Amino acid sequence: MLEASHLECQRGDRRLFAGVDFRLDAGEMLFLQGKNGSGKTTLLRMICGLSHPVSGEIRWKGESIHALGETFREELCYLGHLNAIKEELTPLENLSASAKLAGEALNEDEALDALEVVGLLGREDLACKYLSQGQKRRVALSRLVQEKRALWVLDEPFVALDVAAVSWLAGLIGAHLQRGGLAVLTTHQTVDIPAGAIRELKLS
Amino acid sequence: MMGMVAAITARDLKLAMRRQADIVSVLFFFIIVASLFPLGIGPEQDLLRKLAPGVLWVGALLATMLSLPKLFADDFRDGTLEQLVLAPQPLGLTVLGKVLAHWLVSGLPLALLAPVLGLQFDLSSDALLVLTVSLLIGTPALSGIGAIGAALTLGLRGGGVLVSLLVLPLYIPVLIFGAGAVDATVAGLGAEAHLSILGALAIGGVFFAPWATAAALRIALE
């Protein structure tokens, strides 16, 4: 479903990577590895269509993601290393705002359920600036609970989470793969994700 | 589609209400700039009446300027902008929603405040009315054009100064016809012609600027 061929990336005069190929089918996960600065985040942003490769192409169901445009973005869920939450808004407001902007209907009960799952019930009416780093990350992750999109692109999703939350998130990603979803992720932590097929790609 | 525009406008308005200091500082800037002139020039009514349209319009322009750097900067810093670009809808519409919200918290209050400040310049009630109408029509163009500049300078150091250098020259037509409308009223001529051109500039600014802004935002995120 998701294919990349001969991807090359340059930042200024420096070539980050070249000749990157991979292929990912339904229910599979791609685990990106590499040192700091090896271009993991850049590759993830390329998969989303935020950055453009110098050469090479990324295809979704056989068509270039840039040609697909909105059709591809409807199936994509990206969680960057920034949380994309507003400090002034409460977790509940953040969650419903991001659902609305993503074009999804999310009623208040569903939103509260999602916040309960990530362990933020009781904090749903507190502005996010009063939350800890890990709790902010949980607000960002609450988006994934109701997420029905096929392709998840996750940049360091386990950062700032406690042990219980890490295993919960691993289970969530596993369930997503079980439903036939795809996931691409990077992490420096050793996490056991219950996935059938894990492909690994090392950038150097 | 329009539901999306409304959703982003509603979110930005809610955020603006939680950070009212930003709105108030823009309005106070306008009040102070417009009040310094009568104080500095003295009580010469004829001179003040002549200066009023230009001074009030330049004041509104600079006040709008002041609020521009924040238009996309917060979304850029916390990663929300990436999510907006990745939303399954044309980015131009998202920008339109943000421009609308920007106008509601800067342009609209400036226009409503202007007649009160105009009293200091001894403007007639006709001229005050035209001043308000011209600002109501002209400020959407300022928000639209300003969004292009704000997007082009996103993530740059000293972006605030750069945005002024980029955007102020583009504001000149709006300034000429906006202040011209009030001038014409003061001189006893009709303001319709000026207001029509101002309306055309506003329509152009609001409907074409979002697409240019969207292109600039994509480059900023690259």
Structure tokens at A1: 């479903």
User: Are residues A9 and A110 both part of a single domain?
Assistant: no
B162 touches chain A (CB under 8 A): no
pLDDT at B96: 94
Is there a contact between B11 and A88 if contact means CB atoms under 8 Å apart?
Answer: no
Mutate to test the interface with A, among B12, B82, B84, B221 (most CBs of A within 10 A): B82
Question: Where do we find the tokens 């002041």?
Answer: B66
pLDDT band at B54 (very low <50, low <70, confident <90, very high): very high
pLDDT over 70, % of chain B: 100
User: Are residues A32 and A115 both part of a single domain?
Assistant: no
Q: Are A165 and A134 in contact (CB under 8 A)?
A: yes
What value does the mean pLDDT of chain B take? 91
Q: Which of A81, A82, A101 lies at the smallest CB-CB distance from B87?
A: A101
The span from the CA of A91 to the CA of A139, in Å, is 6
B80 touches chain A (CB under 8 A): yes
Q: Are B177 and B122 in contact (CB under 8 A)?
A: no
Domain assignment present for A169: yes
Q: Find the angle CA(A150)-CA(A155)-CA(A156) to the nearest 5 degrees.
A: 125
Q: pLDDT, tens digit, for every residue of A46-73?
A: 999 998 888 888 999 988 888 888 888 8
Residue B190 buriedness (CB in 10 A; 0-12 / 13-18 / 19+): exposed
Domain count, chain B: 1
Q: Above 90 in pLDDT, residue B160?
A: no
User: Are residues A162 and A127 both part of a single domain?
Assistant: no
Domain count, chain A: 2
B8 touches chain A (CB under 8 A): yes
Is there a contact between B79 and A80 if contact means CB atoms under 8 Å apart?
Answer: yes
Q: pLDDT, tens digit, for every residue of A119-132?
A: 888 888 888 889 88
pLDDT band at A189 (very low <50, low <70, confident <90, very high): confident
User: Are residues A142 and A98 both part of a single domain?
Assistant: yes
Strand partners, A197: A28
Q: Which range marks the domain in which residue A181 is found?
A: 1-75+149-204
- Collapsing DSSP to helix, strand or coil, A184 comes out as strand
The span from the CA of A63 to the CA of B134, in Å, is 50
pLDDT at A110: 85
State mean pLDDT over B112-118.
94
Q: Above 90 in pLDDT, residue A187?
A: no
pLDDT at B25: 94
CA distances from A16 to A20, A21, A48, A78 (A): 11, 14, 18, 22
Is there a contact between A49 and B79 if contact means CB atoms under 8 Å apart?
Answer: no
Domain assignment present for A139: yes
Domain assignment present for A118: yes
Q: Which of A131, A148, A165 is the last residue of a domain?
A: A148
Q: Which range marks the domain in which residue B32 is found?
A: 2-221
Domain assignment present for A60: yes
Q: Which of A29-38, B101-110, B135-144 has the weakest average pLDDT?
A: A29-38
Is there a contact between B222 and A101 if contact means CB atoms under 8 Å apart?
Answer: no
Domain assignment present for A39: yes
User: Are residues A67 and A100 both part of a single domain?
Assistant: no
Strand partners, A151: A76, A182
Instruction: Classify each residue of A45-70 as buried b or exposed e, where b means 16 or more C-beta atoms within 10 Å of its C-beta.
Output: bbbbbbbebeebebbbeeeebeebee
Q: What is the pTM of this model?
A: 0.91
DSSP single-letter state for residue A105:
-
What is the complex's ipTM, to 2 decimals? 0.90
Q: Which of A164-168, B104-108, B158-162 has the weakest average pLDDT?
A: B158-162
Residue B169 buriedness (CB in 10 A; 0-12 / 13-18 / 19+): exposed
State mean pLDDT over B59-88.
91
Q: pLDDT, tens digit, for every residue of B25-52?
A: 999 999 999 999 989 988 888 899 889 9
Q: How far apart are the first and last CA of chain B?
A: 26
User: Are residues A106 and A167 both part of a single domain?
Assistant: no
pLDDT at B175: 95
Neighbours of A77 (CB within 10 A): 22
Instruction: Give the nearest chain B residue to A73 (CA atoms).
Output: B88
User: Are residues A71 and A155 both part of a single domain?
Assistant: yes
The span from the CA of B183 to the CA of B202, in Å, is 20
Q: Above 80 in pLDDT, residue A195?
A: no
pLDDT at B28: 95
Is there a contact between B78 and A82 if contact means CB atoms under 8 Å apart?
Answer: yes
Question: Where do we find the tokens 């002139």?
Answer: B37
Domain assignment present for A168: yes
Q: Which of A128, A148, A168 is the last residue of a domain?
A: A148
pLDDT at A198: 81
pLDDT over 90, % of chain A: 9
Q: Which of A124, A148, A172 is the last residue of a domain?
A: A148
pLDDT band at A38 (very low <50, low <70, confident <90, very high): confident
pLDDT at A34: 85
CATH number of the structural domain spanning residue A187: 3.40.50.300
Structure tokens at B147: 């969004």
The span from the CA of B105 to the CA of B12, in Å, is 10
User: Are residues A107 and A97 both part of a single domain?
Assistant: yes
pLDDT at B27: 95
Q: Above 80 in pLDDT, residue A105?
A: no
Mutate to test the interface with B, among A51, A78, A82 (most CBs of B within 10 A): A82
Domain assignment present for A80: no
User: Are residues A143 and A162 both part of a single domain?
Assistant: no
Q: pLDDT, tens digit, for every residue of B1-10?
A: 778 889 899 9
Q: Which of A150-164, A189-203, B91-105 has the weakest average pLDDT?
A: A189-203
How far is the alpha carbon of B152 from chain A, nearest alpha carbon, in Å? 17
How far is the alpha carbon of A6 from chain B, nearest alpha carbon, in Å? 19
